[in-house]
Amino acid sequence: MDLSSEVLPFLYARCRTMVLLSWTVSALFDTIRMIFLLRGKKGLDSNSMMEENKYPTDGDCRVPLGEFERLDDLQYKGLRIIQDTRKFCFGVDAVLLSHFTEIRKGDRAVDLGTGTGVLPILLAGRMPDAEIYGMEIQPDMVEMANRSIRLNGLESHVRIQTGDLKKAPDVLGKNRFTLVVSNPPYRKAGSGAVNPRDAKAIARHEILCTLDDVLAAASGLLAPGGRLAMIHRADRLTDILAGMRQHRLEPKRICTVHPQPGKAPNRILVEAERFGKSPLRWLPPLFIYQENGQYTKELMGIYHIPVAEEKKGKMEQG
């Protein structure tokens, strides 16, 4: 019996099956290898994206964010600011003061107690030709503010430095500035409940500086004819005006800020002039909310919010 006619086709079929199986296994391993490679690349890309998110960019500028920091849009000319959620974050008061301040071309300005640096950033957005300094006693706030300055590309004309505002005239120069702005601590030391978080307590209470310290520093910094613009609690208006006169700062403009029509003012915006003369000009009052609880058109204009985007809500003052 000739077995070749039966065995050889069988062996050929088995060999062919083994070759096909080998190719299939090889292809399977190649597919598995590719999957792992792609997963590894995807993981690498995800890590890279997470790393990139820690570094908000402005052109070629990379600015790191801390664990508790956030990046806020100032809704003005693309300006942004870094804030630490555990510390004092600016509120409507800083925006009102920025709007109230008459910054002029060629001004040399100082923000006393700059905190996050929001006032120098907003003022620089309004007047790029001004030279603006900020002084803050808390080094960690200064470091964060300077990152915001770099983020916005303002290093050439905005400088934030650590220092006690009481020594500002000696550090920055006496009588060489045309503008001083300040959103100082409102509450007298020992009045009200003190926030246990030091950064917030320093910003809200006269712990490291008083109203008189701010006025004395402003008077020492300003050249004759220079202006001081500040915001404060309305119930301290008497202290403000008396202190200004004591330090040869003549009040020139006042604007009262009211929560709603029919309610007493809770904030006061005041501008004074070094060695200035009367008269004093009262500006129309500013209201934050309408009677229906919505923001007034004046406030929305200050915040550069289109009327169509009007919403109910509360803005933190501070």
The separation between CA 147 and the C-alpha centre of its own chain, rounded to angstroms, equals 10
At residue 37 the predicted structure's pLDDT band, cuts being 50, 70 and 90, is: very low
Range among 216-220, 290-294, 312-316 with highest mean pLDDT value: 216-220
Is residue 149 within 8 A of residue 155, CB to CB? The reply is yes
CA distance 228 to 114: 14
Query: Is pLDDT above 90 for 112?
Result: yes
Among positive and negative, which fits the CA dihedral 59, 64, 67, 68?
Answer: negative
- Could you give the C-alpha distances from 164 to 70, 196, 210, 286, in angstroms and in order? 27, 21, 12, 32
Beta bridge partners of 249: 274
Residues 6+ apart with CB under 8 A from 54: 64, 65
Query: What residues contact residue 305 under an 8 Å CB cut-off, 6+ apart?
Result: 75, 295
Measured CA to CA, the distance from residue 201 to residue 309 in angstroms comes to 34
Q: What is the pLDDT of residue 12?
A: 52
CA distance 91 to 19: 75
How does DSSP assign 60-102, residue by residue? TEE----TTEEEEE-SSTT-EEEEETTS----HHHHHHHHH--
pLDDT of residue 88: 80
Mean pLDDT over 186-195 rounds to: 62
Choice among 116-125, 201-210, 212-221, 272-281 with the minimum mean pLDDT: 201-210
Write the pLDDT tens digit of every residue in 291-306. Answer: 999 999 999 999 988 8
Contact by Cβ (8 Å): 56, 148? no
Of 213, 227, 248, 148, nearest to 181 (Cα)? Answer: 227
pLDDT tens for each residue of 81-100? 999 988 888 899 999 999 99
Domains of the chain: 87-309 (3.40.50.150)
Phi, psi of 48 (to 5 degrees): -65, -40
- Read off the pLDDT of residues 53-69 as tens digits, 9 standing for 90 and up: 455 554 555 688 888 99
Under a CB-based contact definition with an 8 Å cutoff, are residues 280 and 251 in contact? yes
**Is a pLDDT exceeding 80 seen at residue 314?**
no
